[in-house]
Structure 1
Amino acid sequence: MIYYIFILLCLLFPATAAETSESAVSPESAEECRKRGFDRLTEGDYDGAIADFTRALTRKSDFAEALHERGIAWFSKGDYDRAIADYTAALEINPLSSEAFHNRGGAWLYKKAYNRAVEDFSKVLDIRPDDFEAYSNRGTARFYNCDYENALADQLKAIEINKNYFEAYLNAAWLLAACPDAVCRNGEKAVELAKKAVEMNPGPDTLDTLAAAYAEAGNFEDAVSAQKSIIASLNAESSEQKTSEYANRLKSYEAGKPWREKCKILPPPDTADKADEKKPAEIVSEKEEKPMQQQQKEDSFSDKTAYTVHLFSYLNNREMSERTVSRLRKEGNFVIISVMRSAGAGDWYHIFVGRYKTLEGAHAAVEKWKEKGFKADAVLIRSESLMF
């Protein structure tokens, strides 16, 4: 019973004059669309918010704030794959956005992709070493991954940074009381932290944690008393699952046995983290593009019936596109960069990865890139359409 919060609903990067000047394609600017979307997001109108953020992105395709906030809207609708796609796209534009890493970590957590959640929360801490929420959420991911010692260390670090952070007290107390690993258990410390949590929020789950702490400390009388008070406070609207959990723990305490969590090892990330095939809403509107120049570098197609995978696109950002190509090649990938001019917008730098003789092979590659957290709307393009 570990708890976590991670949606950081905030304005990340105020729009600059240069950004808003690109909105000349419409009387309504990208920033105006984004602001209306943000208002709808805070009001709980997620579909309306998504529509506005998408409008903003048709006017400014590299609008990191709109991508990030649309990701929050997708997450709020329970569409974690599209949320991850938008967070990832925002991070391609601003790789130092701790908020986007944090929220993507939360989406991975909900998808039970715990290793990836740990990676993203760790990236938050690289950027913001004193982010107590990132420590606590990383501890949650580690708990569900059965990495108990590190999970406890993260929760205690969160408390060290913020002495009033309720969730970390609750999570740490539960680990100290009910962890399956005896190395992490400490009844007296669990009672101390659980009492502190009760002072902050004396709800059923907090009292449930205090009862578990009492039991681990050998004080079964107080454990039984606390657990009975929880059950007595439940009403007809309480979930059947919660009621059953509380009752099972009461039976354990009445039998003189402390409660123990059970470690449930999930499949490795390559199967557990696989995103579904739903396609996110379009990021930019369709525009007529005419080939201006093809940059093949040292890679090229020899078979014009082959397929490739479209992975990135950058608008008027040659430096970023070349850095991306360099990184992908260092990782051993076959990479093509295609530069195309779009009327009224500028130069698009499209990056393609891999070459495949069949469409099925390319589709399989797309799924592998999705599993790595890249944009879920990657498309397949015949090599002959690249006009090499």
Structure 2
Amino acid sequence: MRRFMFLLIVLFAVSGCVKDTAAYLDASKAAMNAPTHKEAVAQYESGVTKSVHSHYYYEGLGDIHYAYGYYGEAVNDYTRALRNDGRPEYNLKRGRAYMKLSFFRDAIIDFTSVIDLAGSKMPVAYVERAKAYAAKGDYKEAMDDLDKAVSKGGESAEFLIAMGELYFKMGEYGNAKAYVQRALMKDGESSELYLLRGKIFYKSKDANQSIADLKKAIELDRSNLEAKRMLAWIYATNPISGYRNGAEALNLAKSLFNMNQDVQCIEVLAAAYAELGDFDNAVRTLEEGIRLSDDLVQQEDFRFDIKNYKKGEPLRIW
């Protein structure tokens, strides 16, 4: 009888856990349809039970921050999730957020934790650590990790994407595109893949194909901030007039800025204003960027652009 009662208690606990998981994750995904980060967080918090002891609660918040490009806040909430439950999935998510912040050493530590805890079950951690090594310029370590990833998980789409990214960083665009093509055969609905191929085409001076791929990336994932930012940048700054579209650049840039007031979004917004001949707003936008940025090099870049805008000269960059 005692054993029966114990099993009942366990079953109720597990069913409640599954229900809580679904509730938080469903609420998080639904909130990501909100137009701004602030509205998404408010919608999520009004739809779930806030609990400082629930790792699911913090995971949902972290996912929202990540989707809207608030990577520092994502790191904070994934850390809170880890304090409540040290599952490797949270290290993986936090590592990806660190990557977006260019904190590559911290990302490597998180991905290594995943490998130590569940490397055989989560070969994607080797792929992610390879990306971090590649970002640091350590291509040998990156290749070693990719060899381990393929030996444990086969040629997954994640592995092929990582190979494409590695060759892209090395400037071998032909090899990069070949791996992306193979990855697309496995996952033709990946926004990340179309973004990467768009970057490859642009580096190869094929703006037409780049624009097509970036549009596809956004169609597949409207929260793909990097694809929106790059497309707006091309529309605002490409040297070939046939590829520029100031009005569309401004629409995209304003959409980005509403989602995330990051200084990179400010730079794109200023370039869009300049492309339309609105140099006063371009200057004011970059002056605000200087005030918000704590990066001295970026501040100096903004001052250089301001000088050009004051002379009525828009940016022209490949």
Q: TM (normalized to structure 1)?
A: 0.49
Query: Against the structure 1 CA distance between its residues 192 and 55, is the aligned structure 2 distance closer, same or farther, given a 3 Å change threshold?
Result: closer
Q: Which residue of 2 aligns with 1:249?
A: 305
Deviation at 1:226, TM superposition (A): 1.2
Q: Does 1:203 align with 2:282?
A: no
Q: CA deviation at 1:145?
A: 2.7
Contact map agreement 1:135 1:158 (CA 8 A) in 2: yes
- AA aligned to 1:200 is M
Alignment partner, residue 259 of structure 1: 315
Structure-2 separation of matches of 1:157 and 1:144: 18
Residue deviations 1:242-286, cap 9 Å, x none? 222212211111111110114xxxxxxxxxxxxxxxxxxxxxxxx
Equivalent AA in structure 2 for residue 187 of structure 1:
G
| Residue in 2 that maps onto 1:70 | 126
Deviation at 1:128, TM superposition (A): 1.2
Give structure 1 stretches of 5+ with no counterpart: 6-34, 58-62, 263-388
Mapped partners of 2:273, 2:185: distance in 1:
37
State the one-letter code of the partner of 1:129. G
Report the counterpart of residue 361 of structure 1 in structure 2: none
Pairing of 1:143-154 with structure 2 (within 5 A): 143-154=202-213
Q: Deviations over 1:133-192 (max 9, x none)?
A: 111122122222322221111111111222232221111100100112222111111111
Partner of 1:229: 288
1:102 alignment partner, one of 144, 156, 161: 161
What is the number of residues matched between the two proteins? 220
Aligned to 1:383: none
Q: Distance in 2 between matches of 1:168 and 1:84?
A: 26
Mapped to 1, the partners of 2:242 and 2:144 lie a distance apart of 39
Deviations 1:77-109 (A, max 9, x none): 432333234325644675551011112222223
Instruction: Return the offset for 1:113.
Output: 2.6
Question: SS of the counterpart of 1:256?
Answer: coil
The sequence identity of aligned pairs, in percent, is: 26
C-alpha displacement of 1:194? 0.9
Give, as a single letter, the amino acid of the residue that structure 1 aligns with 2:295: S
1:38-117 matches, within 5 Å, as 44=106, 46=108, 65-66=122-123, 68-77=124-133, 78=136, 79-88=138-147, 90-91=149-150, 96-117=155-176
Higher relative contact order (CA 8 A, sep 6+): 1
Mapped to 1, the partners of 2:219 and 2:117 lie a distance apart of 43
> Contact 1:176 / 1:184 at 8 angstroms: preserved in 2?
yes
Post-superposition Cα deviations, 1:183-220, rounded to whole Å, max 9, x if no partner, equal 21111111111111111112211011011011111222
In the alignment, the residues of structure 2 paired with residue 105 and residue 239 of structure 1 have an alpha-carbon distance, to the nearest angstrom, of: 32
User: Any idea what the Cα deviations from partners look like across 1:34-56, whole Å, max 9, x if unmatched?
Assistant: x9988876674846965995999
Contact 1:191 1:210 (C-alpha < 8 Å) held by counterparts:
yes
Q: Following the alignment from structure 2 to structure 1, what is the Cα–Cα distance between the partners of residues 313 and 107?
A: 47
1:310-331 CA deviation, whole Å, 9 max, x = no partner? xxxxxxxxxxxxxxxxxxxxxx
Say which of 201, 204, 213 aligns to 1:142.
Answer: 201
**In the alignment, what sits opposite 2:75?**
none
Which residue in the other structure is 1:238 paired with? 295
Q: CA–CA distance in 2 between the matches of 1:189 and 1:257?
A: 19
Deviations 1:344-370 (A, max 9, x none): xxxxxxxxxxxxxxxxxxxxxxxxxxx
Query: In structure 2, the residue corresponding to 1:107 is in which secondary structure?
Result: helix
Tell me if 1:173 matches 2:173. Answer: no
CA contact (8 A) 2:217 2:224 kept: yes
Q: Is the 8 A contact 1:136 1:168 kept in 2?
A: yes
For residue 129 of structure 1, give the secondary structure of its aligned residue in structure 2: coil
CA deviations 1:58-80 (Å, max 9, x no partner) are xxxxx6954x5334324424323
In the other structure, the counterpart of 1:164 is: 223
Work out which of the two has the higher radius of gyration on C-alpha atoms and give 1 or 2.
1
Q: Specify whether residues 53 and 181 from structure 1 end up closer, same or farther in structure 2 by C-alpha distance, changes over 3 A only.
A: same
Whole-angstrom CA distance in 1 between matches of 2:226 and 2:91: 28
Aligned to 2:244: 185
Instruction: Work out the CA distance in 2 between the residues paired with 1:127 and 1:213.
Output: 36
Paired with 2:166 and 2:230, the residues of 1 have a C-alpha distance of: 19
Question: How has the CA–CA distance of structure 1 residues 107 and 54 changed in structure 2, closer, same or farther, with 3 Å as cutoff?
Answer: farther
Output the TM-score relative to the length of structure 2.
0.59
- Rounded to whole Å, the distance in 1 between the matches of 2:261 and 2:91 is 33
Q: Given that residues 98 and 127 in structure 1 are in contact (C-alpha distance below 8 angstroms), is that contact kept between their aligned partners in structure 2?
A: yes
2:248 & 2:110 partners in 1: Cα distance? 48
The structure with the largest helix share of the pair is 2
In structure 2, relative to structure 1, the CA distance for the partners of 1:86 and 1:243 (3 Å cut) is same
